[in-house]
Amino acid sequence: MAKIFCIANQKGGVGKTTTTVNLAAGLAKVGQRVLMVDLDPQGNATMGSGVDKRKLAHTVYDVLLESATIAEARVQSDKLKHCGCSYDILGANRELAGAEVELVEVERRERRLKEAIAAVDAEYDFVLIDCPPSLSMLTLNGLCCAHGVIVPMQCEYFALEGLTDLVNTIKQVKANLNDDLQIIGLLRVMFDPRITLQQQVGEQLKAHFGDKVFDTVIPRNVRLAEAPSYGLPGVAFDPASKGAQSFISFAKEMVARIDKK
Ligand code: ADP
Ligand code: MG
């Protein structure tokens, strides 16, 4: 059975998409079978995986509205195949923004993605879901099917404040819709050890949340930021870079955590 994780944080620009595509590529590189689901109408995870969001015949939108199955809608990227870290992609584009409104009228609206993933579950070791920067019906669909949530966060002064809303949402979803759900871990991203405040906040997080904080820390690294313009995750674009290496370590840490359970 696949382990299903949402990469979520209601703040924008905190590194969700970067984490999703690089973890997907890192897991693929260490031999895991991965499906990456783009749940953000911006389609950045789709483009960042080397798939042109404007040219997709089917997207996650069709899956949510049940006009296509995941088997019909998923695609692969030639670029990723060349780099030896291929994963399947259930893409998204602007059309997905409409799903928010259209889903209001339908039955089982928050369980659509869960039911669709159940049909392909056996084909994967990991399903990673890149969530939009909101606690919307789209994010709710992601949280409903996940075993856990990975929360990328920058070690800044206000980082913890934003976390409260997410933690409360996760509690509510757990109580009402998905008893499995838990925060798997907080991932410290865009980390700059030269900045004392970041070091302090990083250590405070560890002290406060213990093993809910991943050991791996993702540094601020320009190669990770450059990679999307080449339609590749950093792990595929420049495997030797510090950013890529840290995501490979993170993929290994994830696999080890799953094996322990
Ligand atoms: P989100 O999906 O949460 O909105 P993104 O993953 O798109 O966030 O990241 C926001 C911006 O920061 C992007 O331009 C991305 O390339 C850049 N970025 C993300 N992580 C890093 C990192 N570790 N080092 C340098 N730049 C990063
Ligand atoms: Mg994003």
- Rounded mean pLDDT of 16-28? 98
Nearest CA to ligand 1 atom 18: 225
Write the DSSP string, 115-151: HHHHTTGGG-SEEEEE--SS-SHHHHHHHHH-SEEEE
What is the Cα–Cα distance from 73 to 65, expressed in whole angstroms?
12
- Rounded mean pLDDT of 227-233? 97
49 lines ligand 1 (CB under 6 A): no
Q: Where are the domains of the chain?
A: 3-260
8 lines ligand 1 (CB under 6 A): no
Nearest to 119 by CA among 184, 85, 73, 150: 73
Residue 261's pLDDT is 65
Q: How far is the CA of 194 from the centre of ligand 1 (A)?
A: 19
Start-to-end CA distance of the chain, whole Å, equals 13
CA-to-CA dists, residue 20 to 48, 97, 152, 181, angstroms: 10, 20, 10, 18
Give the predicted TM-score (pTM) of the model. Answer: 0.97
Residue 135's pLDDT is 85
Token code pair at residue 132: 């939009």
Residue 180's pLDDT is 93
Q: Which of 58-67, 158-167, 218-227 has the lowest mean pLDDT?
A: 158-167
Q: Which atom of ligand 1 is nearest to the CA of 190?
A: 23
Cβ-based neighbour number of residue 138 at 10 Å: 26
Q: What percent of the chain has pLDDT over 90?
A: 85
Residue 29's pLDDT is 96
User: Which value, in Å, is the radius of gyration of the alpha carbons in the chain?
Assistant: 17
Residue 105's pLDDT is 85
Q: Which of 2-16, 46-60, 94-108 has the lowest mean pLDDT?
A: 94-108
Q: How many CA atoms lie within 13 A of 170 on its CB side?
A: 23
Alpha helices in the chain (DSSP H): 16-29, 44-47, 60-64, 70-73, 78-82, 96-102, 112-118, 137-145, 159-176, 196-209, 222-226, 234-237, 242-260
Q: What would the pLDDT profile of 170-192 be if each residue is shown by its tens digit?
A: 999 999 999 999 999 999 999 99
Q: At what angle do helices 159-176 and 137-145 cross, to 10 degrees?
A: 60
Nearest CA to ligand 1 atom 11: 13
Q: Which atom of ligand 1 is nearest to the CA of 219?
A: 23
Sign of CA dihedral 107, 110, 112, 116: negative
- Rounded mean pLDDT of 117-130? 98
Which of 6, 16, 18, 130 has most ligand 1 atoms within 8 Å of its beta carbon, as the pocket-test mutant? 18
With 70 as the cut, is the pLDDT of residue 207 above it?
yes
Nearest CA to ligand 1 atom 17: 225
With 90 as the cut, is the pLDDT of residue 160 above it?
no
With 90 as the cut, is the pLDDT of residue 259 above it?
no
With 90 as the cut, is the pLDDT of residue 157 above it?
no
Q: What percent of the chain has pLDDT over 70?
A: 100
Residue 252's pLDDT is 97
**Coil vs helix vs strand at 158:** coil
> Which numeric CATH code is attached to 3-260?
3.40.50.300
Q: How far is the CA of 160 from the centre of ligand 2 (A)?
A: 19
Nearest to 90 by CA among 120, 111, 110: 120
Q: What long-range pairs does 168-176 form, CB within 8 A, spacing at least 24?
A: 169/135, 169/139, 169/143, 170/143, 173/140, 173/143, 173/144
List CB contacts of 40: < 8 A, sequence separation 6 or more.
17, 92, 96, 130, 131, 132, 133, 138
